[in-house]
């Protein structure tokens, strides 16, 4: 009997979706979820689990979906992952669990991401969110022990949910006016609807987590203040939100946005709904995004959806094989008509007499020997300079640690890039009672890696607090 093909998730047609911000993939319906789950051969050694950074029992939850026990499936997922509706949508499964699925040998790994999303969406639609019984952890005076968390991205949210379930009073301090970190200010609505992030944050509040927004740790309160306020431990999960630039002439011209500013205006402040929301973004007919990671794809795909934009370019100095963005994002960007200028390096941004950017001077590149990151390093081909006409330029070249908090804590060890030195197994820093994890200790990584770090840190914080 011929093996069944992996079921793809249906998506909005590219021609329709470039005119809206609605979610692109529709997700599986019940029949599709059961059919895809039934392809799983229930391996004796389920290698898929080794590929999952938080070790979800994938084999078991897939089996339960095939048996139509969706409540059972979501229960299994939630044992290890408190944000399944998010991870089912944004995790790079193709380099994690699906890469390790034995079915890949025949070219067709199980669509684990879509099944995880199905179980999470089923739970939300059916309102059968299971109650968690919590016994408060009290100190000698009978007061519940409080723990502070700086930052409400996936790392901070995970620490808070794990500690709250253990009985601690978990209080998150978030610099922005909404909780969620990159999930709300970075990843666009059409990849991760904000209602889903809100649902997950509301669930945390039900667990007793308190979220205090518009509070910048390091400025509104110092780390010393936190301990003086009675918190017995602190988790730092402030991400890596400082933008990097190309450092070429012309980057200060009008019409050049850092990807962080552009994405924050669009996603957090809803500039794409201006004037209904009062933050505008001035954008021209021709947009160029420099870089080819997830941030670049998001900036390019948002631009493509904005009124008045006719052409969107990605400019990347390596070839398509080296592009760091998720495969699905690159495929979707291509379908949506984004123009990929690969093996192309920007040299200079050129402006008009009023200081607005009008052109990018570029040069063609070729790949040489692999560099320290293992990727083949690009070299300019002399005499191949050319210009691309643009009105808006968005450098999206990755991010760095925000120094406001990290450099103002005496004794907190940082590595040479300015990230907090934290034990990868426990999140312990150089200071007792202070833990760190997520992008602020690893540099820009993934949602699931930040969650994994949060989970390990919560366990270590519990051990520390019990000992104290």
- Element spanning 121, H or E: helix 112-126
Cα–Cα dist 400/102, whole Å: 37
Nearest alpha-carbon partner for 145 in 411, 467, 435, 414: 467
Residue 176: which of ligand FAD, ligand SF4, none does it interact with, CB under 5 to 8 A by kind?
Answer: ligand FAD
Among 7, 56, 211, 238, interactor with ligand FAD by CB under 6 A = 238
Separation between Cα atoms, residue 304 and residue 159, nearest integer Å: 36
Instruction: Considering only the stretches 100-108, 141-149, 247-255, 401-409, report the one whose residues sit in contact with ligand SF4 under the rule CB under 6 A.
Output: 100-108
Q: Pick from ligand FAD, ligand SF4, none: which does 101 bind, CB < 5 to 8 A by kind?
A: ligand SF4
Helix (H) or strand (E) holding 387: strand 386-389
The residue among 104 and 339 lying less far from ligand SF4, judged by its C-beta, is 104
Choose, by CB under 6 A, the member of 235, 402, 434, 452 that binds ligand FAD.
402
CB of 98 to ligand FAD, least distance (A): 14
Site stretch for ligand FAD (CB under 6 A), options 35-43, 233-241, 338-346, 372-380: 233-241
Residue 110 touches ligand SF4, criterion: CB under 6 A: yes
Sole binder of ligand FAD in the list 40, 450, 458, 460 (CB under 6 A): 450
Q: How far is the CB of 108 from ligand SF4 (least distance, A)?
A: 10
Answer yes or no whether residue 154 interacts with ligand FAD by CB under 6 A.
yes
- Tokens (6 digits) for 244: 């990097």
**165 neighbors 158 (Cβ within 8 angstroms):** no
**Distance of CA 7 to CAs 32, 38, 51, 84, 118, Å?**
7, 11, 21, 20, 13
- Using alpha carbons only, what angle is made at residue 409 by residues 403 and 415, rounded to the nearest 5 degrees? 60
Tell me if 197 contacts ligand FAD by CB under 6 A: no
Contacts of 295 (CB under 8 A, 6+ apart): 186, 259, 263, 396, 398, 399
The label of the residue with tokens 């920007």 reads 346
Q: Whole-angstrom Cα distance, residue 416 to residue 236?
A: 18
User: Is residue 241 at the binding interface for ligand FAD, with CB under 6 A as the rule?
Assistant: yes
The residue among 293, 433, 251, 329 whose CA lies nearest residue 93 is: 329
268 forms part of the interface with ligand FAD (CB under 6 A): no
Task: Give the residue, chosen from 438, 455, 456, 462, that forms a contact with ligand FAD under the rule CB under 6 A.
Answer: 438
Residue 195 touches ligand SF4, criterion: CB under 6 A: no
Report d(CA 401, CA 443) in Å as an integer.
Answer: 7
How distant is the alpha carbon of residue 139 from its chain centre?
Answer: 36
| Binding of ligand FAD by 151 (CB under 6 A) | yes
CA 264 to chain CA centroid, nearest Å: 14
The residue within the footprint of ligand FAD, chosen from 298, 311, 336, 462 (CB under 6 A), is: 298
Q: Does 223 bind ligand FAD (CB under 6 A)?
A: no
Q: What residues contact residue 419 under an 8 Å CB cut-off, 6+ apart?
A: 240, 401, 406, 440, 441, 442, 443
Half-sphere CA count of 457, side-chain side, radius 13 A: 36
Binding residue (CB under 6 A) for ligand SF4 from 9, 14, 34, 103: 103
User: Could you say which residues in the range 22-51 bind ligand SF4, by CB under 6 A?
Assistant: 40-43, 46-48
Please tell me whether residue 58 binds ligand SF4 under the rule CB under 6 A. Answer: yes
Cβ closer to ligand FAD: 152 or 392?
152
Among 239, 255, 284, 324, the residue binding ligand FAD under the rule CB under 6 A is: 239
By CB under 6 A, name the binding residues for ligand FAD: 90-92, 150-156, 173-176, 181-182, 186-187, 216-218, 237-239, 241, 263, 294-295, 298, 326, 402, 404-405, 438-440, 444-448, 450
For binding to ligand SF4 (CB under 6 A), which residues are involved?
40-43, 46-48, 58-59, 62, 101-103, 110
């Amino acid at each position: 009997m011929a093996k069944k093909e992996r079921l793809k998730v249906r998506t909005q047609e590219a021609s329709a979706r470039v005119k809206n911000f609605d979610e692109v993939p529709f997700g599986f319906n019940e029949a599709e979820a059961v059919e895809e789950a039934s392809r799983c051969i229930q391996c004796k050694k389920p290698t898929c689990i080794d590929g999952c950074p938080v070790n979800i029992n994938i084999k078991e939850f897939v089996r339960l979906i095939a048996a139509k026990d969706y409540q059972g499936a979501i229960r299994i997922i939630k044992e290890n992952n408190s944000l399944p509706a998010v991870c089912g949508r944004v995790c790079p499964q193709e380099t994690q669990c699906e890469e390790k699925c034995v079915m890949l040998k025949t070219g067709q790994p199980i669509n684990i991401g879509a099944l995880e999303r199905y179980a999470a969406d089923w739970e939300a639609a059916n309102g059968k969110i299971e109650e968690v019984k919590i016994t408060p952890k009290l100190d000698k005076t009978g007061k519940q022990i409080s723990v502070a968390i700086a930052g409400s991205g996936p790392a901070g949210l995970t620490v808070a949910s794990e500690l709250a379930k253990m009985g601690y009073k978990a209080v998150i301090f978030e610099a922005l006016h909404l909780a969620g970190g990159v999930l709300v200010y970075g990843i666009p609505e059409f990849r991760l609807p904000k209602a889903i992030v809100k649902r997950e944050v509301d669930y945390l509040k039900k667990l007793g987590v308190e979220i205090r927004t518009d509070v910048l740790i390091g400025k509104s309160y110092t780390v010393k203040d936190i301990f003086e306020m009675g918190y017995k431990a602190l988790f730092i999960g402030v991400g890596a939100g400082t933008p990097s630039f190309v450092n070429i002439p012309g980057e200060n011209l009008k019409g050049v946005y850092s990807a962080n500013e552009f994405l924050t205006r669009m996603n957090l402040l809803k500039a794409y709904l201006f004037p209904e929301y009062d933050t505008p973004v001035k954008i021209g007919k021709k947009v160029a995004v420099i870089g080819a990671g997830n941030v670049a794809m998001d900036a390019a795909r948002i631009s493509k959806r904005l009124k008045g934009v006719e052409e969107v370019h990605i400019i990347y100095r390596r070839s398509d094989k080296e592009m760091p963005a998720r495969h699905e994002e690159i495929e979707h960007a291509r379908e949506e008509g984004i123009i990929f200028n690969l093996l192309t390096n920007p040299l200079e941004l050129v402006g008009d007499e009023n200081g607005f950017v009008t052109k990018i001077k570029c040069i063609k590149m070729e790949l040489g020997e692999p560099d320290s990151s293992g990727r083949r390093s690009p070299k300019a081909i002399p005499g191949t300079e050319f210009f691309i006409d643009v009105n808006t330029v968005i450098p999206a070249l990755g991010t760095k640690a925000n120094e406001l908090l990290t450099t103002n804590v005496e004794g907190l060890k940082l590595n040479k890039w300015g990230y907090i030195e934290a034990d990868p197994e426990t999140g312990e820093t150089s200071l007792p009672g202070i833990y760190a994890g997520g992008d602020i200790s690893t540099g820009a990584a993934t949602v699931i890696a930040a969650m994994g770090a949060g989970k390990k840190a919560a366990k270590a914080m519990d051990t520390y607090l019990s000992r104290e």
